[in-house]
Amino acid sequence: MAESPLIEVEHIAKVYHMGDVEVHALRDVSLAISEGESIAVMGPSGSGKSTLMNVLGCLDRPSHGTYRLAGQEVSKLDRNQLARVRNRTLGFVFQSFNLLSRTSALENVELPLLYAGVSGRERHKRAREALERVGLGGRAHHHPNQMSGGQQQRVAIARALVTHPHLMVADEPTGNLDSRTSVEIMALFQELGRSGITLLLVTHEPDIARYASRVVVMRDGLVQSDRRQMPLVADVAAAAAQAAAAGIP
Amino acid sequence: MNVLQVFRVAIRALLRNKLRSFLTTLGVVIGVAAVIAMVAIGEGAKAKVAEAFASMGSNLLIVLSGSTTSGGARGGFGSLPTLTWEDLRAMRAECNAVRYATPQLRGSASVISEDQNWGTSVYGVSPEFFAIKDWPVSSGSGISQSDIDGGTKVVVLGQTVVEKLYGPSADPVGQMVRIKNFPFQVIGVAIRKGQSVTGQDQDDVVFMPYTTFQAKIQGGLQKFVPGMLMVSATSADDTARAEKQIANLLRDRHHIPIGGDDDFSIRNLTEMATAQQEGVNTITSLLASIALVSLLVGGIGIMNIMLVSVTERTREIGIRMAVGARPRDVLSQFLVEALTLSFFGGVIGVLIGLFGANRLAGHFGWPVMVRVDIIVVAVSFSGLVGVVFGLYPALKASRLDPIDALRFE
């Protein structure tokens, strides 16, 4: 893996103005994340973890500080340029899946390629590959409402994967899933991590954070702790056995 | 995204709410249909007026003699014979804007064939009459100059008179008829002319040389024209010039001092036709502008629904932005949706408008005049309506913050 960090954040701050009140969502955060790492960002609500994710995910710009993503300074880009970075370099996975309803899985996965200007045939091919990679090759033409939560999240992961991003940003990806499906999703993330994709995982569940190689805890807009750990390997079979023992089908 | 992809995304979004899309576009459909129908009907009416005036004669002026005054009762134009045959001759010779000039003397008489009779109008005319009216004979020959010079007892019959005396599709050329107890030879039959503007049967008529008319049908002072003169100007643009030339000539010949009243009157039928068409034009534009207003109302309907759609699809917009849609991709998507609605509304409106114009024109007995330029203008205008009224909702969509949009429930 490359030696220079994928993400270099130096002294970023984010201030929101709510009327006359200034809200310091991020006060002073510096982070360096290398390629292939999997980082779990934790912290209570209001700690600034969502704001950090939005800034790192190029959905928002920091008020102060610099942010270099894959060597590119992105903290001063305009909205159109940020959209381009999101399209080329990033993939998003959300708690509530955020798939387009009444649109097939395949077309949902094609969506980022549509905005990348990829031609129709190439789009189909790559979207099918991404779906196969998440184990949903046979469900390309199903609509989100015909799929389980776990399957929908897999489609969302395929959509995040399809542009071959450097960084995958996942916001509470297991928040709407049962524990067994959560393990399956985390196993999928770990598999992607082995192929070199960097994962930024925002969660409040310590169980989920255990699957990451590094845990960053936020508090009051500051990094409270930042430690590396030996990630727990997501064991799908064990999770299934546990679920069976608990009487969950 | 290229244009085709944007268009496909827009079509799919619109087809998701078929009924709503249809109802939204209905305002534009009705507006465009109204514009097309109104203009087509107006043009048809104009053509009808033009046709009616053309059948009266081309570039026509009518010269009437003056009025009598007896015991305070004024007789109206034509009651006092002031126009002389010399005036007619001078008019033909001296006015270069005059192409043809003919007297039209009118009387009514009973025309008697061997076994039938029919009361009809008898016109005393010169050969120029048929040129002015563009009214040739369908069989036999017309009235010639030698008939005028000799005052021969010949007649040209109108189609209705032929039917009444000899039955339909008979050819009476060479037969003899009696009018006011004089025998006349039928030398020709005029082609069918149909109804006049005022609904009279123009074919219910008998023509004879005006010299014969004056000698046999209606006596009077030989020097004066006992009727009106019809004059055809050299071209439509020359009618005003011809009018002026004739007026000057007649004032001069009748020794009317400067400031004195004319003892004749000239009617310019081309001007009347133009005025009539202007009137029709005004009404057409009035109706078309009312129709345009309904097109604008249709545009507001589109704007309304697009605003609803942007709010409804806030989350979708957020998702699209998160995966890399630029603000201008979102802008063009919503703009193209509005444009598609209004453009298809315009196309459907054109079809309905043409259909409606056809039906209405058939109902009024007018020709259908479809103006391609109006169709192009109406469709482009409806497209413009889509862009103008779609712009605000599309801008609103493109300015959404992706974070807020994703959080939107």
State ipTM: 0.92
Beta strands (DSSP E) in A70-157 are 72-73, 90-93
Closest CA of chain B from A84, distance in Å? 6
Integer angstrom CA distances of residue B163 from B57, B137, B189, B198, B371: 25, 15, 11, 22, 40
Cα–Cα distance for residue pair B368/B41, rounded to 1 Å: 7
Q: What is the pLDDT of residues B50-75, one digit of tens each?
A: 777 777 777 888 888 876 666 666 76
- Largest distance between two CA atoms of chain A: 55
Residues in chain B with pLDDT values less than 50: none
pTM value is: 0.74
Structure tokens at A248: 């969950």
Q: Quick check: B129 and B207 in contact, CB under 8 A?
A: yes
Helix%, strand%, coil% for chain A, nearest 5: 40, 25, 35
What confidence tens digit (pLDDT) does each residue in B129-177 have? 998 888 889 889 999 999 999 989 999 999 999 999 998 888 899 999 9
Instruction: Give the residues across from A222 on adjacent strands.
Output: A219
Residues with Cβ < 8 Å from B30, sequence gap 6 or more? B294, B298, B349
Contact A92 B323 (CB under 8 A): yes
Q: Could you state, in order of their start, the residue ranges of all structural domains in chain B?
A: 3-52+275-407, 81-262
The confidence score (pLDDT) of residue B284 equals 84
Q: What is the pLDDT of residues B6-39, one digit of tens each?
A: 888 888 888 988 999 999 999 899 989 988 888 8
Rounded Cα gap, residues B394 and B380, in angstroms: 20
Q: Is B324 on the interface with A (CB under 8 A)?
A: yes
* pLDDT per residue as tens, chain A (249 positions): 445 789 999 999 999 888 888 889 999 999 999 998 999 999 998 899 999 999 999 999 999 999 999 889 998 899 999 999 999 999 999 999 999 988 999 999 999 999 998 988 999 999 999 999 999 999 999 999 999 999 999 999 999 999 999 999 999 999 889 988 999 999 999 999 998 899 999 998 999 999 999 999 999 999 999 999 999 888 888 888 887 887 765
Interface of B with A in 1-40 (CB under 8 A): 1-2, 5, 9, 16
CA distance A90 to chain B (A): 8
Hey, which CATH number is domain A7-245, 3.40.640.10, 3.40.50.10860, 2.60.120.10, 3.40.50.300? 3.40.50.300
The string of DSSP codes covering B80-95 is S---BHHHHHHHHHH-
The beta-carbon neighbor of A83 closest among B2, B5, B326 is: B326
Residue A103 neighbours by CB under 8 Å, 6+ apart: A143, A144
Rounded to whole angstroms, the Cα distance separating A68 from A64 reads 13
**Closest CA of chain B from A245, distance in Å:** 37
- 3-state helix, strand and coil shares in percent for chain B, rounded to the nearest 5: 55, 20, 25
Nearest one of A14, A56, A26, A158 to A99, comparing CA atoms? A158
CB B382 within 8 A of CB B24: no
H helix or E strand, kind and range, residue B296: helix B269-312
Which chain A residues have a beta carbon less than 8 Å from that of B320? 111, 115
Select from A84, A112, A159 the Cβ nearest to the Cβ of B326.
Answer: A84
Whole-number pLDDT of residue A2: 46
Residues belonging to chain A with any Cβ–Cβ distance to chain B shorter than 8 Å: 54, 59-60, 79-80, 83-84, 86-88, 92, 94, 98-100, 102, 111-112, 114-117, 159, 163
From the list A80, A99, A112, the residue facing B327 with the nearest CB is A80
Cβ distance of A163 and B324 shorter than 8 Å:
yes
Is B219 within 8 Å of B168 (Cβ atoms)?
A: no
The CB density around residue B403, as the number of other CB atoms within 10 Å, is: 18
